[in-house]
């Protein structure tokens, strides 16, 4: 495993925060590539750094996904594993990482051509699953997650070389403006925020519950948000939020009676596989950032009942 050579995206190396222009494309697809959907959605993704695809999955598929998510949430043995993260102030499950390992249904979903087709188009490459997790935000108790760019963390703590990954958040419940849905700053993906501070050893043990390093300053956020209206990603269960790996996003707590459950997949380009972490520290665990036994994902055209357990 080699370190990142000529690293253009340094971060957490001193106390000063800087905001610099992005050096990588947003959409890598060539003009001859076949669009996975209408061109307007691709333009929205490129311009804003995200797009919501409504009703990608049917009600029947969503029912299968919801049933499987509830099975995992209630699995007492799974709750004791290191892949399961609880809320910072309770024993409520916040996230289950590497979720396809525990679920044949979600393992199939990783290969669904509706997802993989988008990833391969946007990244113009074969793709693999860099990270996956099932996120729970229960009614009245789901905590916030502060503003951050995933790429900054993946670059510094995992060694992702460039901005050539796409995140997909699959809504398993209705994502409402009020129940702690993801907020995003349009256009923020075109800037790289080099955060201040130095990453502590084994930072992931705390950051997966409450992130304190690799977050922008208030002044930095004000600069990114200036002239932009912060967007709240909403959609019915079955919709999918696609967002660029460098888009600044976060979410508020959920004090409503309406739980929010999302399945989160990150597809990385095969040409963008992880090197040594830019922080110089040891890599985070495999369940957070895959670097072994990497194989490209072959898309499969599943039908609804293929997800029946």
What is the SS3 assignment for the chain? CCCCCCCCCCCCCCCCCEEEECCCCCCCCCCCCCCCCCHHHHHHHHHHCEEEECCCCCHHHHHHHHHHHHHHHCCHHHHCCCCEEECCCCCCEEEEECHHHHCHHHHHHHCEHHHHHHHHHHHCCCEEEEEEEEEEECCCCECCEEEECHHHHHHHHHCCCCCCEEEEEEECCCECCCCCCEEECCCHHHEEEECCCCCCCCCHHHHCCCCCCCCCCHHHHHHHHCCCCCEECCECCCCEEEEECCCCEEECCECCCCCEEEEEEEEEEHHHCCCCCCCCCCCCCCCCCCCCCCCCCCCECCCHHHHCC
pLDDT at 96: 95
pLDDT at 37: 74
pLDDT at 14: 73
pLDDT at 86: 81
pLDDT at 89: 67
40-55: pLDDT as tens digits: 999 999 999 999 999 8
The domains found in the chain, sorted by start residue, are 57-298 (2.60.120.620)
71-119: pLDDT as tens digits: 999 988 888 899 998 876 667 788 999 999 999 999 999 999 999 999 9
Q: Are 148 and 211 in contact (CB under 8 A)?
A: yes
pLDDT at 209: 47
pLDDT at 141: 84
What burial letters (b/e) apply to 100-124, b meaning 16+ CB within 10 Å? bebbebbeebbbbebbbbbbbbbbe
What residues have CB less than 8 Å from 205, skipping those under 6 apart?
A: none
Average pLDDT, the chain: 90
Give the residues of the chain that fall short of pLDDT 70: 1-5, 88-90, 199-213
248's tokens: 């600044």
pLDDT at 243: 98
């Amino acid at each position: 495993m080699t370190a990142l050579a000529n690293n253009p995206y340094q971060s957490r190396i001193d106390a000063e925060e800087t905001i610099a222009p992005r050096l990588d494309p947003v959409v890598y697809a060539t003009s001859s590539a076949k669009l996975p959907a209408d061109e307007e959605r691709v333009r929205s993704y490129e311009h804003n750094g995200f797009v919501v695809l409504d009703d990608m999955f049917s009600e029947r598929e969503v029912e299968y996904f919801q049933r499987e998510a509830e099975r995992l949430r209630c699995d007492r043995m799974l709750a004791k594993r290191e892949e399961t993260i609880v809320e910072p102030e309770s024993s409520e499950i916040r996230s289950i990482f590497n979720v396809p390992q525990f679920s044949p249904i979600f393992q199939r979903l990783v290969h669904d051509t509706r997802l993989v087709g988008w990833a391969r188009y946007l990244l113009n490459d074969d793709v693999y699953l860099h990270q996956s997790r099932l996120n729970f935000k229960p009614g009245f108790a789901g905590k916030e997650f502060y503003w951050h760019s995933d790429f900054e963390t993946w670059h510094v703590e995992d060694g992702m070389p460039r901005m050539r990954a796409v995140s997909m958040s699959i809504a398993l419940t209705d994502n409402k403006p009020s129940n702690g849905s993801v907020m995003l700053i349009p256009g923020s993906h075109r800037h790289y925020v080099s955060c201040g501070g130095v990453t502590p050893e084994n930072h992931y043990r705390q950051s997966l519950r409450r992130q304190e390093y690799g977050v922008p300053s208030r002044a930095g956020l004000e600069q990114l948000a200036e002239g932009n209206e912060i967007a709240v990603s909403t959609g019915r269960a079955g919709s999918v939020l696609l967002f660029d790996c460098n888009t600044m996003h976060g979410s508020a707590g959920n004090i409503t009676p309406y739980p929010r459950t999302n399945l989160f997949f990150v597809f990385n380009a095969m040409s963008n596989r992880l090197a040594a972490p830019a922080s110089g520290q040891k890599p985070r665990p495999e369940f957070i950032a895959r670097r072994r036994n990497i194989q490209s994902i072959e898309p499969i055209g599943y039908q609804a009942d293929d997800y029946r357990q």
